Amino acid sequence: MLTVIIDYDSGNLHSAEKAFQRMAAETNAGDVIVSTKPEDVSRADRLVLPGDGAFPACRQQLSDHRGIYEALEEAVITQGRPSWHMRGYANASHRQPRVSGHRRL
């Protein structure tokens, strides 16, 4: 099993990576990697989309990384793979209503 923490420049992911790696080791849950590559997102069994809580920044940065959004959409929507971080998939932000989300995710 492979868990991919998606790196789309949302911040330092070192602590998140170490926490997920420890959990995976303790539960025999496979490998954990941090990646910017759409092909890693495509082959992942589980996905983590970290964020700093700023909806507009999350949405923009994810859109700026070519191929990541499309690979994420394919994995989560089409193939139904488990993912963590539903905020990034919302239609809109309640705190900043003028910012639309990724409507299909």
pLDDT in tens, 9-23: 877 789 989 999 999
The closest of 17, 82, 91 to 59, measured between CA atoms, is 91
pLDDT in tens, 44-87: 999 998 876 666 777 777 778 788 888 988 888 888 888 776 44
Domains and CATH numbers, the chain: 2-89 (3.40.50.880)
The model's pTM: 0.76
- The HSE-up count of residue 38 (CA atoms within 13 Å, CB side) is 13
* Confidence at residue 86, expressed as pLDDT on a 0 to 100 scale: 47
